[in-house]
Each structure stands twice: as structure tokens, then as C-alpha cells.
Amino acid sequence: MMLHNLVVLGDENVGKIELAMKLCPNQCIQPSTADLIREQAVVDDEPCVLEILVTAGLEQYTTVRDMWIRDGEGFLLVYSVTSRKTFESIRKYRDQILRIRSESDRPTPLMIVGNNCDRIVEREVSREEAFLLAREFDCDLIDTSHRTDVNVQRAFYEVVRMIRASQNGILWQPRWKEQDKERKTKRQRCSIQ
């Protein structure tokens, strides 16, 4: 069975542990520690083991975080849509990943995860702002809610798909690139004469 190493990074109190608990409800996860969770899953009809490192409370220990990043295969960069500060920190985590993995010859599977999307009234970061950052980073973006279980499994499984594509030498295209291509094709077909 294939093993996939996922690393969940983000500021404190963005819901990293809660997302992992939704994906792996039978695991015992301690708040304010770094936890390594092993969970069997079936992604696209292929069984695998997800090894998910959730960083919580240890963000300030850069040496340990650097080791996690070096060993990780795919990354979920989590921010809270209700906190602009956590969104702005995403760049810092992405830069650390690129710095540490600069010698790698493979692309780095990366997903920006906007958690707490169910808290619409409290939203401080618009979907458009997050989309622009995903375009800049050339990565995927997804909104989640650990409270209502919106897109939690999808976020983790999409990163697994990116890892698999990378391992097979396939260039992963973010969903927004595919949507851009579809829009351009539609515009070309809809010419007014």
C-alpha cells in the first residue's frame, strides 16, 4: 500500500487539528502539539496510507518545521477566512517550503486551504483575494469548514492526487487553470458575426 506524507501548516487557531480530526475521526489528536496521524484511505479506487503531520503549537521551532517540510510530499497551507493575519502568513509558509525544497527536482504539491468558510458574516478574506494568491503561487485553492465538514476530505485527497501525479511525472494543473482554458474555448466558439 502506498504511503503519502502530508504536512498541514498554518498559524495557530486556524483549525488545522480540527480538519485532521474530521478526516480521521478515530484518531486521538492532542491540541497544542505536533501530531503524526496515520490513516488508511482509498483515493480514486487506490488504497493508501496517509501520514499527516499536523503542526500545532510548535510553529516557532523552525528546525523541527524545516525537517517536516523536507520530509513532506504534499502541503496544505491553512488559514482562517475570518482572519486576514492568518491569510497573510500563508506566503511565509510557502516561502519556507520553497527555500527548504529548492534542490528538489520535483514540483511541490501545494494546496491553499481557507478554513471556516461557514462563518460567512465574519469573513475577512474574500474568495477573490485567495484566488489571486493561488494564481500567484500556481497552486490549488479550496474553502473548507471543519464544523460542517465542507470539502475536508476533498482538500486532503486533492493533495494526494497531486503527489501521485508528481510521482508519475505528470505536471499537475490547478483546477483554476482548467477552468481558464474552458472559458477561453467558449469565448472562441461564441463569436458574433
Query: What pLDDT shows up at residue 177?
Result: 73
Over residues 57-83, mean pLDDT? 85
Percent of the chain with pLDDT over 90: 64
Q: In 3D, which of 105, 16, 9 has the Cα closest to residue 66? A: 9
**Domains of the chain: residue spans and CATH:** 2-189 (3.40.50.300)
Encode pLDDT of 148-187 as tens digits. 999 999 999 999 999 999 999 888 888 777 766 665 665 5
pLDDT tens, residue by residue, 86-137 = 999 999 999 999 999 887 777 789 999 999 999 999 999 999 999 999 999 9
Burial call 132-164: b when 16+ CB within 10 Å, e when fewer:
ebbeebebbbbbbbbeeebbbeebbbbbbbbbb
pTM above threshold 0.85 = yes
